[in-house]
Each structure stands twice: as structure tokens, then as C-alpha cells.
Amino acid sequence: MEVRRLRLLREFADRESIGAVADAMHMTPSAVSQQLKVLADEAGVPLFEPDGRRIRLTEAGRALVLRADEVIAAVERAQEEMASYRSGRARVRLAMFPSGSTLLLPTVLDRATESGIEVHAFHLDVGYPGAAPALADFDIVVTHRDERAPAVNRSRVRVAELMREPVDVIVPVDSPLAEDSAPWGGGLRTGVSHAL
């Protein structure tokens, strides 16, 4: 299956008409139809079915669109990576959970720019166990973890703690819990434990 045909399939999924795909891709409707027919032949299953005077994706067609998105994204990443080699600049693909990127990304980008490193940052809200598999798509993954979570298998990855986040408990000033002299003592600890 050729990537250009998968792109046509994805365009069809988005635009739902051969004519609209042809306009968007600067092709004739006949050429789009021919390429999509070849793709269906390559898939070995019907990708389209009649829908009145038009056609729509079959279940297999919708499944292939999902895979097409993955293939196209992988090809685009490969092209970007090769472009970075041509430019001679170091390039890093960085994935961060959204709230972490708000806090850390400005500093990371400033320091990377000063060092001549090109950073491509992505939001990825993956928990600690999912961080290692995400390295298939990213060079660095910044994630959050519960300290009680099982450790990541460190035989293939390096893990460094960047920071510890404070977790605050806030209670109304007139609450009996606010009277405790030690913030985690007595009633406050008991109240929080029962609430959680």
C-alpha cells in the first residue's frame, strides 16, 4: 500500500466525497477513484459501499483510515528526522503531560535554543507505566507518577526525578481541622484519610 493512496483514503474519510478529495488534492475525480480502487484491491476487502448516489467507507475502510493515520504520521516523523540531519542541528522530540509543559516547557525551550537544539514538543498525558513504550515515538518523555506506582523497568531506559510537587490540603478557617497545630497531625490527617 502506497502512502499517497492512504492519504487519499484519509482525505475521503474527512471530506466524504470523491469530488471534494479531488479538489483538495489537485487531482481529477477519475484519478482519485482509480487510486482508491487500487487501494481496495491491495487491501483485499471492500473499503467502500454505495450510499445513494455516493459512496461511504465500510467498517474495513474505517479501520484502514485509523492505520493510515498511523502510517502517515510515522512517515512524516521520518521525513522531519531526515530534515534535521540535513540541517545539522540536534533535534529532540519531547513529550510532556499538559500541566508539566506549562511549568517546564518555557525554560526547556530557552535553554535548548541557547544550545542550538531544535525541540519538537508534544502533549502526551501518559502515566508512569506508559512512559517507556512512548519512547518509540519520542526521545524524552516527561511524566508524572504516584510514588506508590511500580517502578519502570530500567534495563532499557534512564529515569531521573525532575521535581517533587507539593500537595496541599486547604480547609475553611472555621473548620475544626484548621485548629490542629501540626498540619498533618491528628484531625487533619484523619479527615483527609477518610475523604480519600
pLDDT in tens, 112-138: 888 888 888 888 877 666 677 777 788
Residues in contact with 177: Cβ distance below 8 Å, sequence separation at least 6, in sequence order: 171, 187, 188, 191
What does the pLDDT read at residue 165?
75
Mean pLDDT on 8-21: 93
Question: 61: which 3 cell numbers?
Answer: 475502510
Question: 169: which 3 cell numbers?
Answer: 490540603
Distance CA 166, CA 162 (A): 13
Domain with CATH 1.10.10.10 in the chain: 3-79
Question: 184: which 3 cell numbers?
Answer: 498533618
Q: Is the pLDDT of residue 193 over 70?
A: no
What does the pLDDT read at residue 82?
84
Question: 163: which 3 cell numbers?
Answer: 521535581
Q: Tell me: the pLDDT tens digits for 34-88?
A: 999 999 999 999 999 999 989 999 999 999 999 999 999 899 888 887 887 787 7
Distance CA 127, CA 31 (A): 45
CATH code matching the domain that covers 3-79, chosen among 2.60.40.10, 3.60.150.10, 3.30.365.10, 1.10.10.10: 1.10.10.10
- SS3 category, 191: helix
Give CATH for domain 89-165.
3.40.190
Q: Is the pTM of this model over 0.95?
A: no
Domain with CATH 3.40.190 in the chain: 89-165
